[in-house]
Amino acid sequence: MNYATPVTTISEARSFFHSLNKAEKLFHPDDAPESITGVDGDPIFTADECALVSQRIAEIRVFMPDPCEYIIDTFF
């Protein structure tokens, strides 16, 4: 997954979350990516990815003030 691509539309925001889910990396967007670990306890994002994912979440909030609602409605 390319975390470097900016999110500029609501469709891209939804696609971003679908990609995270498919990669089994979907997380609560209020949590810092640095704090997210897999079942083995290891971080699921590299340090570079954490910075990019944080940027993407900030961009997504422009289109989705509450991305948690979309995640819950779509994936749970």
- Taking the C-alpha atoms of residue 9 and residue 48, their distance in angstroms, rounded to an integer, is 23
CA nearest 7: which of 69, 75, 63, 67?
Answer: 63
Number of domains in the chain: 1
Task: Tell me the residue range of the domain where 54 lies.
Answer: 10-75
Alpha-helical (H) ranges within the chain are 10-22, 47-63, 67-75
Q: Is residue 2 part of a domain?
A: no
What confidence category does residue 1 fall into, taking pLDDT thresholds of 50, 70 and 90?
A: confident
User: In whole numbers, what is the pLDDT of the chain averaged over residues?
Assistant: 96
Please give the average per-residue pLDDT across 16-36, as a whole number.
Answer: 97
Quick check: is 17 in a domain?
A: yes
The 3-state DSSP class for residue 67 equals: helix
CB 52 within 8 A of CB 2: no
pTM score of the predicted model? 0.93
According to the model, what pLDDT value does residue 45 have? 98
Assess if residue 5 is contained within a domain.
no
DSSP, collapsed to helix, strand or coil, labels residue 46 as: coil
